[in-house]
Amino acid sequence: MRTKAKIIGTKYKPDYVRPRYVVKMETQDGKFLIIDFDYTETSKLKSYTPRSVNYDGEDYGSKLSWYTKAEESMTVQKFLAIIAVKMDKKYLPALSK
């Protein structure tokens, strides 16, 4: 599965116990979406979650569902999982096998 927004820049933050990434994407309307996200593992949730979201210069805190519902037609977890697979292959090849 693919996202409609294109990844134009990535960064891996190795200082954390779990994988943490920053992704810069260009949306279909030419605006930039920057997402800082990591893998969260709690008793109820084991998935990637956004830490901070910046869309076209505006800070949205950790809220990403407004974008994924309207533009990508999927949940936040599914959207971040698609991106994370690509990031894991690039930065953590031993884990992605």
Kindly tell me if the per-residue pLDDT of 95 is higher than 90. no
- pLDDT bucket at 18, cuts 50 / 70 / 90: confident
Residue 24, both tokens:
């810069």
pLDDT in tens, 34-88: 999 999 887 777 889 999 999 999 999 999 999 999 999 999 999 999 999 999 8
Burial environment of residue 82 by CB neighbours within 10 A (0 to 12, 13 to 18, 19 or more)? middle
- What gap in Å lies between CA 61 and CA 72, rounded to an integer? 19
- pTM of model > 0.85: yes
Give 17 or 45, the one with higher predicted confidence. Answer: 17
Q: How many CA atoms, within 13 angstroms, populate the side-chain half-sphere of residue 11?
A: 8
